[in-house]
Structure 1
Amino acid sequence: MNEAIVIPVSFFAFIFAMVYVFLTTRNKERMAMIEKGTDPTIFKGAGKYSNFLTLKTGLLFIGVAIGVLFGNILANASSLEEGTAYVSMIFLFGGLGLVAGYWMQAQKTNK
């Protein structure tokens, strides 16, 4: 079989298998806890931090986009190699975005 077909198919099969195993295991765990008499309201707290995950992901992507822009500026304005400028700025601004997300989450939870 052609490698151009095998690699994407195996990648998507792997992703599907991981999601399937995660969901079925979580369902079995929850059903066992409910059968033992555990209060099912404990599962509602899992979505409490999903807003922070969305915030952190958004700030990471914003940081990466700013990093690409500054990497382009740095590559054109200095004698750095283009790859070095892009990678360093992407990691710098992506990390700053994650730190900003952590800072915002800490402020929100302390209130």
Structure 2
Amino acid sequence: MNGDIIVPITFIASIFGIIYLYLKSRHRERIAMIEKNVPANSLYNKPKILAITLKIGMLFIGIGVGILIGYIINHIFSIQEGHIFYFVFTFLFGGLALILNYKIEKNKEDVY
């Protein structure tokens, strides 16, 4: 009974601890930049944030397509151990999405 409640509490505390440490280190970094008279525009890196959201979005789309293709193949061939298709195609299409993201970011870099 006690173990059933300790695990979720520890998980939630860990997440809040990671967020706290991230925000605290970011604050220290910004204070150090202000003390060294670094311009404020270097604090806000908008293209980098957009690249991360593109990467995460493409990864999730790739994972979704992989699960869908695994489902379709599983039902077409009706193999008893068909759950392997979900696993394989999820990673295959997730990886392909990340490769496509790399190509897109490389093309954007060449334009600028």
Q: How many residues align?
A: 110
**Shift in Å, 1:10:** 0.8
Q: Deviations over 1:37-91 (max 9, x none)?
A: 23332212x3321111111111111111111111112222233622211000000
TM-score calculated relative to the size of structure 1: 0.88
Q: CA deviation at 1:92?
A: 0.5
TM-score, normalized by length of structure 2? 0.87
Contact 1:74 1:80 in 2 (8 A): no
Gaps of 5+ in 1: none
Q: Which residue does 2:12 correspond to in 1? A: 12
Secondary structure of the corresponding residue to residue 66 of structure 1: helix
The percent of aligned pairs where both chains have the same amino acid is 37
Residue type of the alignment partner of 1:72: Y
Name stretches of at least 5 consecutive residues in structure 2 with no aligned partner: none
Cα RMSD of the aligned pairs, angstroms, is 1.6
After the TM superposition, which residues 61-76 of structure 1 pair with which residues of structure 2 at under 5 Å, given as runs? 61-76=60-75
